[in-house]
Structure 1
Amino acid sequence: MACRISELVIDAVDPERLAAFWSDVLGYVELGREDDGSIEIGPPGAGFGGPQPTLVLSPTDDPRPKKLRLHIDVNATDRDQDAELARLLALGARHADVGQTGTETWYPLADPEGNEFCLLRRRLDPV
């Protein structure tokens, strides 16, 4: 057996704000807090080590680099892509320009701190 991703760590100027945003986006709940101000969120009832990775929002004062080398892709589970796009924008996401051509089947977005992520077209089971 190989490795699997157990958690993703995202540096955040405001971990509270990003934890709330990503919890709303993914249907996650707060799993814990560390003395350094980090907040871990994950799927309800599963937590760390479950089938989906948790997110750790880690406080930082460092400025965000221009373009990240890694981003998150998300898929809607209970609505079509356009309805999910509207929901994500209402939560605080914004459209991002990452050099797309306009013919993509996904939407490049940014979270409240400017971290890019993409909303893909295909609907997935909510597992």
Structure 2
Amino acid sequence: MASRISELVIKCRDPQRLAAFWCEALGFVVLETDDDGVVEVGPKEGFGGLQPTLIFIPVTEPEAVGLRLHFDVNATDRDQDAELERLLKLGARPADIGQTGEESWHVLADPEGNVFCLLRGRLS
């Protein structure tokens, strides 16, 4: 038997804001909010499905430089250009990590600057 990713834990300054962004971006819902400010979001079906839940933990320390992990997302119901426009309206912004401009994906940053990529392929 193998393991699979069930949760991704993200340290951030404003868990509510990031949770709202990623809920809109991924079609997730808030599953739980703790008294200490931790927010868990995930698919409407809840924890334990095929998609991992995201847990946003409040921190006050400065953000790490050169994070070694990022999300790749794919549109499920529209083409890449339409999804790019939607994500930018939600608060994402273009990010430059040294790409050439010839890539088939877009590099973006969420409202706290966490880099993620919007891939060309569409998933159903």
TM-score (norm 2): 0.98
Taking the aligned partners of 2:62 and 2:80, their CA distance within structure 1 comes to 32
Taking the aligned partners of 1:31 and 1:23, their CA distance within structure 2 comes to 10
- Structure 1 segments unaligned to the other structure (5+ residues): none
Deviation at 1:66, TM superposition (A): 2.1
- Structure 2 segments unaligned to the other structure (5+ residues): none
The equivalent residue for 2:90 is 91
Q: 1:1-127 residue pairs with structure 2 within 5 A?
A: 1-44=1-44, 46-125=45-124
Taking the aligned partners of 1:93 and 1:66, their CA distance within structure 2 comes to 19
Aligned residue type for 2:101: G
Count the aligned residue pairs: 124
Aligned residue type for 2:2: A
Taking the aligned partners of 1:104 and 1:24, their CA distance within structure 2 comes to 25
Taking the aligned partners of 1:63 and 1:114, their CA distance within structure 2 comes to 12
Helix, strand or coil at the partner of 1:88: helix
RMSD: 0.7
TM-score (norm 1): 0.95
